[in-house]
Amino acid sequence: MEIIKTLLSRRRFLQASGTAGAVGAAALGSGGVLTALKPVRAQAASPPTYHATKITKSICHQCPARCGIDVYTTDGRVHAIYGSSEHPISNGKLCPKGPLGTYILYDPDRFKGPMKRTNPQKGRDIDPGFVPISWEEALDTVAGRLNTLRDKGESHRFALCFGRGWGASCAGLLGPFGKLYGSQNVPIGHSSMCSDGSMLSKAATDGNASYSAYDYRNANMLLMFGVGFLEAFRPYNNNMQVWGYIRGERVPKTRITAVDVHLNTTLAGADRALLIKPGTDGALALAIAHVILTEGLWERPFVGDFKDGVNRFKTGQHVDPGTFEEKWVKGLIEWWNIELKDRTPEWAAEITTLYERDILATAREFGSTRPAIALFERGVHAHSNGILNGMAVHSLNALVGSLFAKGGLMYQMGPSYGAMPVKEDDFMDDYAKSGPWKAQPRIDLQGHEDGYLIAKNMLQEVGPNSLAGKPYKLDTVMFYLTNPIWTAPDGRAWEDALKEVFVVDTSPFPGETAMFADLILPDHTYLERLQDAPTYPFQGWPMAQLRVPAIKPLYDTKYFGDTLIEIGKRIKGRTGEYYQALGDSENVIRHLAKGFETDPGDNGVDSFDSWKEKGVWYKKNYKWRQIGGAFFEWDGKGYNTPMTAEQVKKELFKTDSGRFEIRSGKLEHHADWIAAKTGRDKDKLMFPHWEEPQHPGGGDLYMVTPKAAMHAEGRGANLPVAIANFQPVLGGRGTVYIEINPKTARERGIADGDLVRLKSHLGSIEGHCRFFEGCRPDTVVFPMENGHWAMGRWAKGRSPGHCGEITVNQSDRVTGQCSYYTTKVSIERA
């Protein structure tokens, strides 16, 4: 009961120490004690005004889940946000960030209109001297620079980098802009700093460069590798709804094993929690695969079988490929022979530091429970060996046959959008088609032999490359919903880079990158925007949300989509004509909605107006399903139409073989390059296999920096209510600690609560530590999101500082995934 007593008093607003009745209840009625207290002053109740409340259907902006929200506005004030009951992701609910949107709208630190820099000097803590300008001047300035660059044949020196793109009316406009204006650097997305490692692992094996959609509700087991299912994994709100169902209502209860590098609520709530050594998830997955094969637990109708039905998978023993008939997988026997045959639980125990019995039990449970899903994200692949780890985990889904199965995983279908008002291909001038820009590589060296040949984007390289002038220096860079000075590893390199570049930021809020801007073209905040957003991978069936403004913009801001269109109109020649024809972002959205006229949603949405009223269009049928090793298409009533192998290849397994490639054709095509850049064995690099991760930084402890549930994308650091509850387990009330295992701390002479310094060879940050037995002794753990220096008054300088300052910029050479979770640091008393 002591623990309850401590807890119940710990997180009060303040302790009751200042009680007038400190002498206790005996003082009651003695008269004198109460005289010092506040005089009673009647407060009149304001009349209730609920009758005037308007509810707008919109969507949340604080993570990629895209929850439908009901925004309550009374007398022109937005005062409440709840989940929309009719929205398939939110179903009336919210995560802890959802209700905080009003803070974002009324954030006192917002930019209130376009501004330009007057101080030519740039640097951290140097006042940019922003002064307000008109939108005309702002847009003319950008377009003027862009036209000059184009006239000089240097249009590639303009880059537009974006983070959280939402839909066709913002991020979707960027590709055509790059094509028409003439820059391969428009756009560069932040996916490599997000979770490209999982997209590329999937592309390598099943041919879909995408996140997965999941049918959790019908699964009987979930095996989670580094996903933060109850903290951050998209769609977080819906994940929790799923959790309540599969753990609290469903019979049989879905079994959950969670693998992660620190103790979080997901691990606490799981049946089995495996606190694994960072970067070694691949070894665990290989051992699980080993057991599934040796114990004969694989899904034969999907995977195939030995021709005579006799299992020849015996630890350490070679298997004759001719004895096995593969069905929907490619390379299983080769994988066994080249890698898997020796990957025993005993071997993996050594690498992962887990107990052999836990590995074995996990493998048996996963191998024998159907349907089962192995899901993974950044914890697994944000390491130098990321592609290998990711492929190993994803291959488990193939072994148990959960791809496109009921209770399995699949890929997201897109919405039935109508065509854009005009086609950019009709507006290509000679410069766009064959100007000198065409001969240049991308600034991030994505797709280039010297850089990242196979990666999708390499935003983390843009700053450093421009600084080094390799391949060239940028002239002008524009940012949309990304703040790389803060989010990129080793942001100091970006600070130096952006000193020499003309920077345009479009965030509605101050931020580190904005402090290096020459122009601020502030966007509306999300409750003020009209913006489309097709769903992130969810349950596979198509859905498109619409963000509808709940209130007129509070300040002189402009929706980013319109800012871009307005700049486009000012570009000389055909480009300008294209944007004249495009009109504005609302016109784009109206054209998108035309697609619903012929394909109305399940909720009756069949036009722009009905979309706006309901906030979402969706059709709840996924088109394909794998049943017992055969594939079928939905015929309007059920999965009744059998698919040919060619159809499966076209729609589902988009690989050379049309099967799930454990032997990855995609990697094999680039075998020489991969071998040269990674030193991997040319015969092995196309298979999931074990490789020791490289941990830069020079320290002896893994730095683990999870995204906390309260981390509202881009803005969590300046939301006072989020700050008050940010780190629930050890912190709270505005404090965040560096978690450390007591043994690790004591060995270094560090006491609970000490001010400590974390160091890598890049620098150091300081904060207070707290002992936590839930920490692996070889880690230090603290949430990412602290230590902003320009995000706003509440974010400023929050301890324990920003992990990015000491995170080395290292990426997986194959996927381009930025390895955020792999730097090693040392700790000492400060």
Chain residues that interact with ligand SF4, rule: CB under 6 A: 60, 62-63, 65-67, 94-95, 97-98, 235-237
Tell which one of 272, 492, 499, 761 touches another protein (CB under 8 A): 272
Token readout for 306 is 């030995």
> Which of 14-22, 169-177, 279-287, 459-467 is the region at the interface with another protein (rule: CB under 8 A)?
14-22
Which CB atom, from 220 or from 764, has the smaller least distance to another protein? Answer: 220
Question: What is the length of the chain?
Answer: 830
Residue closer to ligand SF4 (CB basis): 9 or 118 = 9
Q: How far, in Å, CA of 144 to CA of 242, rounded?
A: 51
Smallest gap from Cβ 96 to ligand SF4, in A, equals 7
Stretch that binds another protein, among 219-227, 329-337, 633-641, 717-725 (CB under 8 A): 717-725
Q: How far is the CB of 649 from another protein (least distance, A)?
A: 38
Q: Which member of 205, 487, 545, 741 binds another protein (CB under 8 A)?
A: 741
Nearer CB in complex with another protein: 53/148: 53
Which of 63/292 has CB closer to ligand SF4? Answer: 63
Q: Are 92 and 237 in contact (CB under 8 A)?
A: no
Q: How far is the CB of 216 from ligand SF4 (least distance, A)?
A: 15
Q: Which stretch binds another protein (CB under 8 A): 49-57, 162-170, 495-503, 637-645?
A: 49-57
Q: Which does 120 bind (CB under 5 to 8 A by kind): ligand SF4, another protein, none?
A: none
Q: In whole angstroms, how close is the CB of 272 to another protein at the nearest point?
A: 4
Do 190 and 202 form a contact (C-beta atoms < 8 A)?
Answer: no
For position 237 contacting another protein by CB under 8 A, the verdict is: yes
| Nearest distance, CB of residue 799 and another protein, angstroms | 12
Kindly state the smallest distance separating residue 230's Cβ from ligand SF4, in Å: 9
Among 153, 583, 629, 774, binds another protein (CB under 8 A): 774
What sign for the dihedral angle of Cα 339, 400, 670, 462?
negative
Contact 758, 825 (CB under 8 A): yes
Residue 345 or 714 having the CB closest to ligand SF4: 714
Amino acid occupying residue 226? G
Alpha helix (H) ranges present in 273-385?
A: 281-294, 300-303, 332-338, 345-352, 356-368, 378-381
Burial class (CB in 10 A: 0-12, 13-18, 19+), 630: middle
Among candidate residues 813, 810, 820, 822, the one with its CA nearest the CA of residue 685: 813
- Residue 28 burial (C-beta neighbours within 10 Å; 0-12, 13-18, 19+): exposed
Interacting partner of 318 out of ligand SF4, another protein, none (Cβ under 5 to 8 A depending on kind):
none
Helix (H) or strand (E) holding 189: strand 188-189
Task: Confirm or reject binding of residue 426 to another protein (CB under 8 A).
Answer: no
Euclidean distance between CA atoms 686 and 666, whole angstroms = 8
Query: Please, what is the minimum distance in Å from the beta carbon of residue 730 to another protein?
Result: 8
Write the interaction track for another protein spanning residues 239-268; mark x where CB under 8 A is met and - where it is not.
-xx-xxx-xx--------------xxx-xx
The option from ligand SF4, another protein, none interacting with 1 (CB < 5 to 8 A, set by class) reads another protein
Which residues from 55-84 bind another protein, rule CB under 8 A? 74-75, 77-83
Rounded to a whole number of angstroms, the minimum distance from the CB of residue 242 to another protein is 8
Q: Does 277 bind another protein (CB under 8 A)?
A: no
Q: Which residues contact 684 (CB under 8 A, 6 or more apart)?
A: 338, 339
- In the shown chain, the binding pattern of residues 608 to 647 toward another protein, with x for contact by CB under 8 A and - for none, equals ----------------------------------------
Contact (CB, 8 A) for 678 and 810: no
* Gyration radius of the chain's alpha carbons: 28
238 binds another protein (CB under 8 A): yes
Cα angle, residue 263 at apex, residues 247 and 706 outer, rounded to 5°:
105
Interaction pattern, residues 342-361, with another protein; x per rule: CB under 8 A = ------------xxxxx-xx
> At 684, phi and psi to the nearest 5?
-115, -20
In this complex, which beta carbon is closest to another protein, that of residue 54 or of residue 682?
Answer: 54
Q: Interface with another protein includes 771 (CB under 8 A)?
A: no
Query: Which has the closest alpha carbon to 75: 613, 615, 719, 550?
Result: 550
Closer of 269 and 698 to ligand SF4 (Cβ): 269
**Shortest spacing between CB 411 and another protein, in angstroms:** 25
Which option in another protein, ligand SF4, none does residue 66 bind, with CB closer than 5 to 8 A by kind? Answer: ligand SF4
Shortest distance, position 104 Cβ to another protein, whole Å: 10
Q: Does 789 contact another protein by CB under 8 A?
A: no
Shortest Cβ 52–ligand SF4 spacing (Å):
22
Among 138, 193, 223, 230, binds another protein (CB under 8 A): 230
DSSP structural state of residue 268:
H
Q: Which one of another protein, ligand SF4, none interacts with residue 543, CB within 5 to 8 A by kind? A: none
Closest contact distance (angstroms) between CB of 265 and ligand SF4 is 9
Size, binding site for another protein by CB under 8 A: 111
Closest approach of Cβ 770 to another protein, in Å? 11
CA proximity to 677, closest of 461, 453, 459, 390: 453
* Cis peptide bond prior to 537, omega within 30° of 0: no
Q: List the one residue out of 96, 102, 99 whose CA is nearest residue 82.
A: 99
- Residue 773's SS3 state is coil
Nearer to another protein by C-beta: 346 or 700? Answer: 346
Encoded one letter per residue, x for contact with another protein by CB under 8 A and - for no contact, window 299-318 reads --------------------
What value, to the nearest 5°, has the Cα angle with vertex 744 and ends 723 and 731? Answer: 15
**In the 3-class helix/strand/coil scheme, how is 465-506 assigned residue by residue?**
HHHHCCCCCCCEEEEECCCHHHHCCCHHHHHHHHHCCEEEEC
Question: Which lies closer to ligand SF4 via its Cβ, residue 65 or residue 348?
Answer: 65
Hey, what amino acid is at 669? H
- N-term to C-term CA, the chain: 36
Give the nearer residue to ligand SF4 in terms of CB position, either 230 or 259. 230
679 within 8 A of 783, measured Cβ to Cβ: no
> Which string of DSSP letters, residue by residue, matches 703-762?
EE-PPPTT--TTTGGG-HHHHHTSSTTT-BTTB--EEE-HHHHHHTT--TT-EEEEEETT
In the complex with ligand SF4, which residue's Cβ is closer, 235 or 800?
235
Among 724, 757, 766, 789, binds another protein (CB under 8 A): 724
Scanning residues 681 to 710, which ones bind another protein (CB under 8 A)?
709-710
* Least distance CB 1 / another protein (angstroms): 7
Q: Which of 671, 657, 659, 662 is nearest to 339 (CA)?
A: 662
